[in-house]
Amino acid sequence: MSATIADVTRRIAAGEVTAEGLVDDAFARIGTIDPHLGAFLALDERGARQTARAIDKARSANEPLGPLAGVPIALKDNLVTKDLATTAGSRILEGWLPPYDAHVVEKLRAAGAIIIGKTNLDEFGMGSSTERSAFKPTKNPWDLSLVPGGSSGGSAAAVAANLCVASLGTDTGGSIRQPASFCGVVGLKPTYGRVSRWGVIAYASSLDQVGPITKTVADAAHLLQVIAGHDPRDATSLPTAVPNFAAALEAGVDGLRIGLPREYFGEGIDPGVRAALDETIEALRANGATIVDISLPHTHLALPAYYLVAPAEASSNLARYDGVRFGKRVEGVDLLDMYKRSRGAGFGPEVKRRIMLGTYALRAGYYDAYYKRAQQVRALIKRDFDEAFTRCDVIFTPVAPTPAFAFGAKANPVDMYLADVFTLSCNLAGLPGLSVPCGFTKAGLPVGAQLLGKPLDEATLLRTGAAIERWADITETPPGVATLEPKPDQGTQPS
C-alpha cells in the first residue's frame, strides 16, 4: 500500500493490478502489522471484497470507473458507516451498527473507493495522542514507543504504515494536522463548511471538519475533490462551487507572500522542529516567495477560548447519549439513576471532564462570563486573520511545539491541551489548514509545517504544500514499522 491514489487508479485502469488483489494485500499487511500498531478498531473484509470484485468486473467490461476506483481507504471511527461498527472510540457506542452512511462515506463509495475499516481515535475526538481511546492506544509508525498524535491518530498511523492508501479524519482543534505531523504524512483541514458534517459524530459542531490524511499533497487534493461540495442535509455546508484543486499543484511559490506570525515562533518550540521550519522558510524564499512578518495579536487567547467553546458544545452534543435510544445502557433503580449509571460507565475520564467544564460554562449566570466571552474572543481571532491576509497569501507556522512524544508524557490534561496551541486558531476562525512534512529532528522524527489560508482557498495551500513536499522529499519508510515488515519467506510483500 505504499502506492499513491494516482498510482492505484492508473494501474487498475490499465489492468496491471486488480482491486481484489490490492484488498487482499491490504488485509494481509494489516494482519501482520496492526496487532503491534493498533490503528484499526474495525475491519470490513466482506464489504471491501464485494466492492473490489464489482470494480474489477466493471473494468473488464470497459465500463467507466470512478476517480477513486479500487483505492483502499480507512475512516476515522467517528464517521458513521452503514452496518459497520461505529464507536467514536467510546464504550458508550460499543457495538453500534448505524443504519446509514455519512455524507463523505457516500461520496467515497460513489467514487469507487474501497472502505477497508475504521481507525482508532481519542474518545469522541477529545485528545491529542490517541491514548484516550476507550479500547486501546495507537502507536507511532516511526517509533512504537511514541504516540501518533490525535485525535485522528489511527488514521494518520494507518497511512504512514502503508496499511491503506489514504484515510479520512476529523479536525476540531488540530486533530488532522497534528497527527499528520507526528506521523510524517499530509493532513488537510478544509474550510469550515467545505465538506459536509452530516453523519459525523459531533464533538463541537461549530469547529468540527472532515478532511483527508494522505501520503502526498496531490493525494490530498484528489481526495478533497471527491468529498467537498454542498450538502443540503448539513445546515453549515457552504453552497459554493468546488474548484479543481489539482490544477495549481505544479505552480510553485514564486510570487506568493508567505506570512510568519511572530506569536507562533517564540519560546517553547523544540530545537529540532525550529531547525526544520527555518530550513523550509529559506527554501520558500529561495524559490521566489516573499517572506512577510505579520502579527496575530490575540493568539494567546485561542487556547482558553477553545476550551470554553468546544466543551460547551460537547456538553450539548453528548447529552443525547442517555442509555435510552441507542448505545450503552446500565439499568438503575429509576430513570435518573439509569442516566447516571449509563453515562458514568460509558464515558471516559477526559470526556467527563469536558462535559462538566462545558456544562458549567453554559449555566445560568455563567454563560455571559464564559461562553459568550469566548465567542467574542473568537471574533477577534478571526479579525486578526482577516487583517493578516491583506498582507500575505499564506501563513506559515509550526504544527506543534514538539515532535511525537512518549506515552504518558502528557498525563496532565493542561500539558495535553498545550500540544494543540498552534492549531486551535485555525478552527476558531474557520480557515483551511494543511500539515505537510518538511524535515526531521536529529532523532529522526518527522516535522510538519502548517500552512493556513484564506477561507475557501485550499488551492493555494495545496500549491505551497506541493512545493515544500518536492524540496523535503520525505520518502523514508517509518523505522518503527520497518521492524514489523513481512519477510520474503512469509510470502506477503507490501504493494
CA-to-CA distance for 285 and 422, rounded, in angstroms? 23
Q: Assign residue 434 a region (left: φ > 0; alpha: ψ between -120 and 50; beta: otherwise).
A: beta
Residue with cell 490544477: 247
Q: What angle do CA 381, 384, 390 make, to 5 degrees?
A: 150
Spatial CA neighbour of 458 closest among 243, 238, 166: 243
- Active-site residue, 151 included: yes
Whole-angstrom distance, CA of residue 195 vs CA of residue 292: 31
Q: Residue 480 is placed in which grid cell?
A: 518503527
Task: Kindly report the number of other CB atoms within 10 A of residue 197's CB atom.
Answer: 24
Q: Catalytic annotation on 152?
A: no
Distance (Å, rounded) from C-alpha 495 to C-alpha 492?
9
Catalytic residue among 151, 181, 342, 425: 151
Which DSSP letter does residue 393 get? Answer: S
Which sign, positive or negative, has the C-alpha torsion 124, 128, 130, 133?
negative
199: left (phi over 0), alpha (psi -120 to 50) or beta: left
Within 8 A by CB and 6+ apart from 55, the residues are 12, 19, 65, 69, 70, 112, 114
| Selected catalytic residue, list 76, 118, 215, 328 | 76
Question: What are the cell numbers at 461?
Answer: 495551500
DSSP string, 10-47: HHHHTTSS-HHHHHHHHHHHHHHHHHHH--EEEE-HHH
Nearest CA among 74, 69, 72 for reference residue 9: 69
Residue type, 16: E
Q: Kindly compute the dihedral angle of the four CA atoms of residues 105, 307, 433, 157, in this order, to the nearest 10 degrees.
A: -60
Q: How far apart are CA 482 and CA 180, in angstroms?
A: 19
Which residues sit opposite 434 in a β-bridge? 188, 451
E strand or H helix at 312, and its extent? helix 302-317
Q: Tell the residue number behind the cell numbers 520518502, with chain if given.
A: 475
Write down the catalytic residue from 128, 133, 155, 175. Answer: 175
Please identify every residue annotated as catalytic: 76, 151, 175
